[in-house]
Amino acid sequence: MTRFILHRILISIPTLILVSMFVFGLQKLLPGDPVLAMAGEERDPAVIELLREKYRLNDPIPMQYLYWVGGVLQGDLGTSLRTGEPVLNLIAQKLPVTIQLAIMSMIFAFLIGVPAGILSSVRKGTWVDYIANVVALSGLSIPNFWLGIMMILLVSVNLGWLPASGYESPWVDPWRSFQTMLMPAFVLGTGLAAALMRHTRSSMLGVLQSDYVRTARAKGLAERKVILKHAFRNAVLPIVTLSALLFGELLAGAVLTEQIFTIPGFGKLIVDAVFNRDYAVVQGVVLCTAAGFILMNLIADVLYVLLNPRLRTAQ
Amino acid sequence: MTTRKLIAALLASAAMATAAQAADLRIGLQEDPDALDTAQARTFVGRIVFESLCDKLVNIAPDQSFTPELATSWAWSDDGMKLVMQLRTDATFHDGTPFDAAAVVANIERSKTLPESRRKSELASVESVAATGTHEVTFTLSKPDATLIAQLSDRAGMMVSPTAAAEKGLELANSPVCSGPYKFVERIAQDRIVLEKFAEHYNADNYHFDRLIFLPIPDTTVRLANLRSGDLDMLERLAPSDVAGVKADSALKFESAVSQGYQGITVNVNNGPRSETPFGKDKRVRQALSLAIDREVVNQVVFEGVYAPGNQPFPPTSPWYDATNPVPARDVEKAKALLAEAGVDRISIEMQAANNPVQLQLMQVIQSMVAEAGIDISIQATEFASMLEQQTQGNYQSTQVGWSGRTDPDGNIHSFVTCGGGLNDSKFCSETVDTLLNEARTSTDPAVRKAKYDEAGKILSDELPIIYLYHQTWLWAMSNKIDGFTPYPDGMIRLAGVKKAE
């Protein structure tokens, strides 16, 4: 097991290097000079030149890359061109926010998606199945930003139940933190729930056809036990893989959701950074995201091995 | 017993929280401000926060005349080369450092010498500044500069604590120390900026909130939803399309003021090979385009009638507006005649515009209006930073772009149309205009200045390197519990006298 994990970590290093080169290169292809973007409508040539020098924007691009990588290896991701704050601080400040959002969205997604998937597979072809499918399809097709704004208008403006947007740290005020996160997590969670529901359903349908389920039923086991203990445990494997992949979708979805609900998280950090051509921030955030994505997939692989004994002997 | 105590404590803390909230003012901003250091800052939205955080030497009245703030009075020498300011004796910085002439000298010198300072060009005419008394400073200029008072009514005149500035250097941006009615508490990037009342401020009795919380909420719909749900007390830059809704809502109040800035079309008349088109080279084609636009209809259709149509760098509400040169009415026949005179029947023009729904809608309305006169505009939706870059490099035919505006007229015109002007992307160049605008900045007599701006304006209205279209209006929406708010043409939120009813 340890060897397996070490091996996976080692092969993720070249991936990270490639990602860093891609991000760096692609960014430089973006039109729009970062210093001009910083200067906004007030463009003082002397200040612009000074900033170019300061952030080494006059050096050749490979040199800029090496300089940046050198910093990263020493734990220095550079400073934001816009506010002068160290990128590492910004990431440390924003990452927990997005993780909180991601966890709450995942909880929503699992609470809705998995039971709905099991139910519609067991009641295949009945009205329960149809309703679950229609809801899932809507969940997949309604854009986050639209659902978000509609929720704000309904829940905050008309009903006055939840704050319309913003964020509070759970360490400062846990109740308000929960309240502010509820709507965004729901909005982000619905899309994922739909995907989870569809996968749970098809995976369950496959398993429910298999011989051992028939045997279990023939033994006279309670239907509840057959479905939850025998069928679902085997159907869960593809769901685990999917969850790891959904993590990427979650981060992408967080970009939009955070924008709508004005949550100062990772997604908002990167969008604002791209618009301000804040290179250092974009690079840092993308690198961290890539690392996070690789880590999530590693965890999924490990879980896979733990959940499926057959894979253990195969090593 | 312990449970009961806990509940009692919880109730007590909840009651305290409510009491504290009653004196909070929550303001929704359109963007997150940049560095909160008056020397390094460069965004409009940052100035809104500074207005409560930092006192300035000079303030402005709603009619844009100058009023005392940290400077109680000022006088120019006859030759316009010296400015003497008398200072308040009862002002203190948030860290306890007293405000005096030495503090002003330190601030002006910091703005002039700090490598990262964005105030250098604003203070370029200041050769030296000296404390000529404990509470008197004298500015010595290298050339007469009538715009200096206006600069000192903005960020160049905002005073930070010299003690804190020396101690923190560039880090001052993360915990600014000024002398305004509210002091800095905390900032969470992209989330909030919190200020609390500075009890030792000389005018503290006139400020009625314990805390100010600025919340950047870029989406206009969400910003308004926050106001409606009571999560905000006030917001700036309401979308024109929401004005009718806010006016109809009895729980809300609406305020507006025509801004100091403008929106227009900057034409590449002499900036590299891309200016070599009839549009860039023949003023009659530009005149035709200007005449083919119905500015009032544009205002009604795109901006719900809340903005102000315009044809000059100053809005019609400004004392600097030339009333003898009014906004032209649409005249398609005359436009066609001008095109014929220029020897073109139909002409195609490329125009960049910022890639957002409102600016693109504006462009589409203009596109269909000028098509009737024989001008075909191809709209190039461009992201703002790239658009400015193209414009600076001369890689454009024309751009729909604007300027947020300055209190002094010079700030709206000089650097855009003088031959070597730093923001002159059309590269228009006229000796007469240069002479007029250079003279206008040196005279301290408003009547003399006005005459020169009028004369330069007549030439510019004929040459049209910039075709002015309209002036944005600052739109605020607030809870109807807020009383005493005065709208200012600079778009700032001044809180002296503003109260919230319980």
pLDDT attached to residue B10: 46
Domains of chain B with CATH codes: 21-33+180-259+474-500 (3.40.190.10), 55-169 (3.90.76.10), 262-471 (3.10.105.10)
pLDDT score of A315 more than 60: no
Q: Quickly state the pLDDT bin for A35 (edges 50, 70, 90).
A: confident
The CATH code that applies to domain A87-314 is 1.10.3720.10
Tell me the C-alpha to C-alpha distance, in Å, between residue B47 and each of B138, B190, B240, B473: 26, 16, 22, 17
pLDDT attached to residue A43: 67
Contacts of B314 (CB under 8 A, 6+ apart): B260, B262, B320, B321, B409, B412, B453
Q: Is B168 on the interface with A (CB under 8 A)?
A: no
State the nearest Cα–Cα gap between B90 and chain A, in angstroms: 33
pLDDT attached to residue B82: 95
> Which candidate from B218, B228, B392 shows the least CB-CB separation from A36?
B392
Rounded CA-CA distance B445/B337 in Å is 42
pLDDT attached to residue B1: 40
Tell me the C-alpha to C-alpha distance, in Å, between residue B173 and each of A40, B123, B176, B247, B493: 18, 20, 6, 38, 21
ipTM: 0.75
Q: A43 vs B173: CB contact, 8 Å cut-off?
A: no
Tell me whether residue A48 is exposed, middle or buried, using C-beta atoms within 10 angstroms of its C-beta: 0 to 12, 13 to 18, 19 or more.
middle
Per DSSP, the three-state class of B382 is strand
pLDDT attached to residue B14: 44
> Which candidate from A39, A50, A264 shows the least CB-CB separation from B42?
A39
Give A47's contacts in chain B (Cβ within 8 Å).
116-118, 120
Mutate to test the interface with A, among B231, B260, B380, B472 (most CBs of A within 10 A): B231
Contacts of B272 (CB under 8 A, 6+ apart): B393, B394, B395
Strands B24-29 and B234-236: parallel
Which amino acid is residue A69, in one-letter code?
V
State the nearest Cα–Cα gap between A186 and chain B, in angstroms: 17
Closest CA to B25 of B219, B218, B196: B196
> Which candidate from B42, B189, B229 shows the least CB-CB separation from A42?
B42
Asked if B248 and B333 count as a contact pair (C-beta separation under 8 A), the reply is no
Which residue's entry shows tokens 């403008």?
A: B262
Q: Which two tokens stand for residue B322?
A: 């030339």
CB atoms inside a 10 Å sphere around CB B496: 14
pTM for the complete prediction? 0.83
Rounded CA-CA distance A83/B189 in Å is 9
Size of interface A-B (CB pairs under 8 A): 124
Q: A262 vs B217: CB contact, 8 Å cut-off?
A: yes
- CA-nearest residue to B402 within chain A is A41
Q: B215 vs A277: CB contact, 8 Å cut-off?
A: no
Q: B225 vs A37: CB contact, 8 Å cut-off?
A: no
Closest CA to A187 of A245, A260, A135, A133: A260
Q: Quickly state the pLDDT bin for A273 (edges 50, 70, 90).
A: confident
Which stretches of chain B drop beneath a pLDDT of 70?
Answer: 1-22
Tell me whether residue B364 is exposed, middle or buried, using C-beta atoms within 10 angstroms of its C-beta: 0 to 12, 13 to 18, 19 or more.
middle
Asked if A117 and A204 count as a contact pair (C-beta separation under 8 A), the reply is yes
Q: Which two tokens stand for residue A251?
A: 């981060």
Q: Quickly state the pLDDT bin for A42 (edges 50, 70, 90).
A: low
Rounded CA-CA distance A96/A181 in Å is 13
Count of alpha carbons within 13 angstroms of residue B463, beta-carbon side? 20
pLDDT attached to residue B483: 94
Q: B385 vs A260: CB contact, 8 Å cut-off?
A: no
The overall average pLDDT reported for chain A is 83
Q: Quickly state the pLDDT bin for A40 (edges 50, 70, 90).
A: low
pLDDT attached to residue A244: 73
pLDDT attached to residue B16: 43
Q: B118 vs A42: CB contact, 8 Å cut-off?
A: yes
> Which candidate from A31, A262, A275 shows the least CB-CB separation from B389?
A31
Q: Which residue has the higher pLDDT, A297 or B270?
A: B270
Q: Is B124 on the interface with A (CB under 8 A)?
A: no
Mutate to test the interface with A, among B49, B113, B188, B191 (most CBs of A within 10 A): B191
Tell me whether residue A75 is exposed, middle or buried, using C-beta atoms within 10 angstroms of its C-beta: 0 to 12, 13 to 18, 19 or more.
exposed
Mutate to test the interface with B, among A44, A276, A279 (most CBs of B within 10 A): A44
Q: Quickly state the pLDDT bin for A249 (edges 50, 70, 90).
A: confident
Asked if B335 and B434 count as a contact pair (C-beta separation under 8 A), the reply is no
Give A36's contacts in chain B (Cβ within 8 Å).
385, 388-389, 392
Residue spans of the domains in chain A: they are: 87-314
Give A156's contacts in chain B (Cβ within 8 Å).
225-226, 228-229, 231
Closest CA to A106 of A206, A211, A184: A184
Asked if B327 and B316 count as a contact pair (C-beta separation under 8 A), the reply is yes
Contacts of A26 (CB under 8 A, 6+ apart): none
Give A157's contacts in chain B (Cβ within 8 Å).
225, 228-229
Rounded CA-CA distance B325/B310 in Å is 10
Window A:117-146, CB contacts with B under 8 Å: none
Strands B499-500 and B192-197: unpaired
Q: Which two tokens stand for residue B89?
A: 């004796």
Mutate to test the interface with A, among B116, B117, B188, B222 (most CBs of A within 10 A): B222
Strand intervals (E) in B328-439:
347-354, 375-382, 398-403
pLDDT score of A30 more than 80: no
Which amino acid is residue B57, in one-letter code?
L
